[in-house]
Structure 1
Amino acid sequence: MYHATRTLLRVTAVILSLTVLVATGPARAVTLLRDADIEYSLKQLGAPVLRAAGLSPNQIRILVIDDSTLNAFIVDTQHIFIHSGLLTKLETAAQVQAVIAHEAAHIANGHISRRLGNMRTARTAAGLGMVLAAAAAAAGNGQAAVGLGIGLQSSAMRNFLAHTRAEEASADISSIRYLVRAGVDPQGAIEVQDLFRGQEVLAETRQDPYMRSHPLSRDRLRALKGLVAGASAKTAPDPGANYWFARAKGKLTAFTRAPGWTLRRADASGTSDIAQMRKAVAYHRQSDLGRALQNIDAAISSRPNDPFLRELKGQILLESRRAPEAVKVYSAAARLAPREPLILGGLGRAQLAAGNPKDALRTLEAARGRDFSDTRILRDLAVAYAKTGQTAMASLVTAERYAVQGRFKDAAIHAKRAEGALARGSGPWQRAQDVLSAAQRAGQR
């Protein structure tokens, strides 16, 4: 289910031992655009490149931030963030893979790890605008997973995200090697950098964020062109990569651009199922349920084992107030992708709307077990707990949701309420303690 979730970027287990850093200003929540289909498509695009870098595609998530500016960055070794503006600006699968390869090179070459390792000494020198954002139990084992909220608006944060010219040169060399090894046309790397050519002479306020975090110079661009020219491997377009690129960009633009814009361009999507999916979204946004269902059903008929098309149909039905039908469609999607938390979250939401809170509770607990930081899943899970009479657990999950959002005063209120009603020493009680500890530390910055 496509949805936006306001949250603070989280840097997870790799920095469990970090002390709370003094913030230079309030952290600004960002909006993640969560969609299982788009995230799966980006995973398919990234997998060969990440493997070429010696990284596991299952350990690194590629997520989209709702921001029209052009940027991509890393804040830890487990996530690559791409702005929606950059994703919609790029024109080929190879360009997206070049962006992923470059960020993967920063991870593989240890650039972010060195920053994380030096954070304890950066309180005053760098003044990083980071605060403890959440303390929530990891899936299934009761261990606390600590995150950091990042204020992207501060100059200190920009300094943290910015790579040195030496790091950029190193990442350029590595990323071209990864692309060639993965059979991806490295010319995509040149095409991405061409988007930013000339911005180095602009004032910082007029530059795209990517330029500020990835300094570009004529010398660097010349060197990058030399690397690409020297790449010996011959590459051919990959139909699979082109499909997943068209699908990710097609669905993103269908939800973010005007429906009329989408309908005028849908037939040029490359394949009939992507065209029909995009039309279904556009008609749904125009409240034309009949044509939305007609198009999504046509897409499903061409790809009957595709869980994400069924998920989209479930979303259309649920948002059209046809919850019982949505439950059936979401259930079919969940059977095809039983480990996908966003599909489980959609099913749980439909079960709540259909008046089945006990079923919803089981489904949403499973979804949280797969993704304990998705605020919409946490919100719906709290509702399911409340509707089944488990008010203490509802308070706990609400506290965790507020903590993930960086709203620590609200988080502490609900965590305190949960703590008083939960069995002392139990797993849920410990989770409440984690939130209270996070709120206390955040209040000390």
Structure 2
Amino acid sequence: MAAIRRPLRQALLLALILLLAPLAARAQSLIRDAEIEYALRQLARPLATAAGISPSSLRVMVINDSAMNAFVLDGQTIMIHSGLLLRLESAAEAQAVIAHEIAHIANGHITRRLANLRGANSAAAMGLLMSLAVAATGNAEAGAGIAMGSASSAQRLFFAHTRAEESSADQAGVRYMARAGVDPQAMVDVLDLFRGQEALSSTRQDPYVRTHPLTADRLRALRGFAAAYGGQAAGDETAEYWYARARGKLGAFLQSPRFTLRKAAGDTGTVGMMRRAIAHHRTPAPDKALAEMARLEQARPNDPFVQELKGQILLESRRVGAAVDAYARAVALAPDEPLILAGHGRALLALDSAQANRQALAVLEKARARDPRDPRMLRDLALAHARAGHDGMAALATAERYAVGGRMDTALVHAKRASGLLPRGSPGWLRAQDVLSLAESAKRRK
């Protein structure tokens, strides 16, 4: 395991953790969206600075799960359930959740939990990895069943915080909020969402309560912290705007189009335009969606995420040439955003001409260099290499995609093929050895 390179190791740990919390009888998946992740980075940036953590080292990502929960993955990545984001009504409340998780990082709680997981018998971790492999095939109930035997011990080892940790994270999180100019009362408001759940059975509690113990004493102490640090918040219209965009986009894609159109009716702002465009796209009513996008584009002509969304709508409406143009404009506005690059590469592949395929390969390699944890990008990268006749690199990208998704047996097959096709000692061959090492280790521990 020591030879596994850091990005892939983190991606595989992410795959493991997605099955670990909480163990629902259904598969969970990441929601990878450039605009949503950008918005959450803007919320996290001042809080990370206040905590003495480099903002560039911190990621905030969304899990597609209606339950309310948030947790820290590896000391660098905060995971928030979509259900919690849709429930929180302000940027300050979202920042309260992020501040609390940043406090767990800054206070060393995550380091100790990682040490506990590494030091424990590997049965729990491998049981969960096996469940991920099953869930990834679509048999989520079977996957959850495999994992149940190791769930309680793994959850204790990795996710459950002690009451002392929660209290210290509350106090530190409130302090970070005050330093960043965010109203600490928002953290009290967030915990009030869960008040009374401590009396429920664990099966009826939101996962957040099971992993973040909530008591009357904790709420009382938190109110004291908030009062002590209060009066320093000035409000942040920019944060509120970006949170509204993230929450609005998330809801428009996850909730029914009819619900979205009803809620967004009469909203003349850019968030309302975006929500209606997505709802019409999902109906599907592409002409109505593109009419809303035209109004949104006029309001925000230099917004890369507007161009990206336009490209997605066009591509999924099979207007491939126009989609390529929209994605190209998005890339010009945000040339280093990996998820936008991945979308551009996907659109170029859809053109399926010799020139477009060559361009797609270059764009997707650039996206992978910036974010190797995107399974959809890895799938497209494998296709681009296959069209170029690079069978070894196509096998490698496929192996990495399955590894990131936790399907280690399948990853092993493709990594062996890549290892046999690629020049020994080449960068691609070395990446194949990384996957082989981890996949074979997982196979031995079954």
- TM-score, normalised to structure 2's length? 0.87
**Which segments of 5 or more consecutive residues in structure 2 lack a partner in the other structure?**
1-6, 14-22, 133-146
Q: 1:434 to 1:303 in 2, by over 3 A?
A: same
Q: 1:219 to 1:42 in 2, by over 3 A?
A: same
Asked if 1:304 is matched to 2:265, the reply is no
Matches within 5 A, 1:15-414: 30-123=28-121, 154-159=151-156, 160-267=158-265, 272-355=269-352, 356-414=356-414
What is the CA-CA distance between 1:193 and the residue it aligns to? 0.3
Q: Deviations over 1:166-192 (max 9, x none)?
A: 000100110110111100011110110
Structure 2: distance between partners of 1:262 and 1:334? 29
What is the CA-CA distance between 1:328 and the residue it aligns to? 0.6
Q: Which has the higher helix share?
A: 2
Q: 1:362 to 1:93 in 2, by over 3 A?
A: same
What is the CA-CA distance between 1:47 and the residue it aligns to? 1.0
Q: 1:428 to 1:127 in 2, by over 3 A?
A: closer
Structure 2: distance between partners of 1:65 and 1:157? 19
Asked if 1:417 is matched to 2:417, the reply is yes
Structure 1: distance between partners of 2:186 and 2:8? 29
SS at match of 1:395: helix
What is the CA-CA distance between 1:232 and the residue it aligns to? 4.4
Structure 2: distance between partners of 1:28 and 1:421? 37
What is the CA-CA distance between 1:302 and the residue it aligns to? 1.1
SS at match of 1:338: coil
Q: Deviations over 1:49-103 (max 9, x none)?
A: 1111111221111000000000000121110000000000111111000000000
Q: Which residue of 1 aligns with 2:136?
A: none
Q: 1:295 to 1:421 in 2, by over 3 A?
A: same
CA contact (8 A) 1:129 1:156 kept: no
Structure 2: distance between partners of 1:343 and 1:255? 18
**Which segments of 5 or more consecutive residues in structure 1 lack a partner in the other structure?**
1-8, 16-24, 135-150
CA contact (8 A) 1:128 1:157 kept: no
CA contact (8 A) 2:12 2:405 kept: no
What is the CA-CA distance between 1:419 and the residue it aligns to? 1.3
Q: Deviations over 1:238-258 (max 9, x none)?
A: 111110111110000000011
CA contact (8 A) 1:33 1:65 kept: yes
What is the CA-CA distance between 1:11 and the residue it aligns to? 6.3
What amino acid maps onto 1:316 in structure 2?
I
Structure 1: distance between partners of 2:31 and 2:11? 23
SS at match of 2:30: strand
The 4+ residue runs of structure 1 with deviation greater than 6 A are 124-128
Structure 1: distance between partners of 2:373 and 2:444? 23
The answer to which structure, 1 or 2, has the higher relative contact order (CA under 8 A, 6+ apart) is 1
Structure 1: distance between partners of 2:163 and 2:8? 26
Q: Deviations over 1:264-296 (max 9, x none)?
A: 111476x61111111110111112111111111
What is the CA-CA distance between 1:126 and the residue it aligns to? 7.8
Q: 1:120 to 1:292 in 2, by over 3 A?
A: closer
SS at match of 1:197: coil
CA contact (8 A) 1:33 1:66 kept: yes
CA contact (8 A) 2:40 2:60 kept: yes
Q: Deviations over 1:16-45 (max 9, x none)?
A: xxxxxxxxx9x9963001110011111111
Aligned length, in residue pairs:
411
Structure 1: distance between partners of 2:40 and 2:266? 20
What is the CA-CA distance between 1:343 and the residue it aligns to? 0.4
Q: 1:192 to 1:203 in 2, by over 3 A?
A: same
Structure 2: distance between partners of 1:366 and 1:210? 37
CA contact (8 A) 2:12 2:403 kept: no
How high is the sequence identity, in percent, across the aligned residues?
Answer: 56
Q: Deviations over 1:128-169 (max 9, x none)?
A: 8565999xxxxxxxxxxxxxxxx7981123212011000001
CA contact (8 A) 2:184 2:230 kept: no
SS at match of 1:12: helix
CA contact (8 A) 1:408 1:439 kept: yes
Q: Which has the higher strand share?
A: 1
CA contact (8 A) 1:133 1:404 kept: no
Structure 1: distance between partners of 2:152 and 2:109? 19
Q: Which residue of 1 aligns with 2:135?
A: none
Q: 1:206 to 1:232 in 2, by over 3 A?
A: closer
What is the CA-CA distance between 1:233 and the residue it aligns to? 3.2
Structure 1: distance between partners of 2:99 and 2:168? 12
- TM-score, normalised to structure 1's length? 0.87
RMSD between aligned residues: 2.5
Q: 1:431 to 1:29 in 2, by over 3 A?
A: farther
